[in-house]
Amino acid sequence: MLINLTELFSVEGKEKTYTPEIEMDVFQAPEGSLEISSKKPVALKLRNLGGKKLLLEGKAFLSLCIPCSRCLEPVEVPFELELYQELDMDKSEEERAEDLDEQPYVSGYYLDVDQLIGNELLLNLPMKVLCREDCKGICNQCGTNLNRGNCSCERSLPDPRLSVIQDLFQQFKEV
pLDDT tier at 33 (50, 70, 90 boundaries)? very high
φ/ψ (deg, to 5) at 94? -70, -40
Q: Calculate the CA dihedral of residues 38, 4, 57, 125 and round it to 10 degrees.
A: 40
CB neighbour class for 128 (10 Å; exposed up to 12, middle 13-18, buried from 19): exposed
pLDDT tens string 94-148: 666 666 555 678 877 888 899 899 989 999 999 999 999 999 999 888 888 999 9
φ/ψ (deg, to 5) at 49? -95, -5
- The pLDDT assigned to 98 comes to 64
Q: CB of 41 within 8 A of CB of 20?
A: yes
pLDDT tens string 159-172: 778 778 877 877 87
φ/ψ (deg, to 5) at 118? -60, -45
Q: CB of 60 within 8 A of CB of 81?
A: yes
- The pLDDT assigned to 166 comes to 77
The letter for the amino acid at 140 is N
Q: Kindly report the length of the chain.
A: 175
How far is residue 106's CA from residue 43's CA, in Å, rounded to a whole number? Answer: 18
Q: Stretch 3-7: mean pLDDT, rounded?
A: 82
pLDDT at 175 over 60: no
Question: What integer best gives the mean pLDDT of the chain?
Answer: 85
pLDDT tens string 88-100: 777 666 666 666 5
Higher pLDDT, 56 or 5: 56
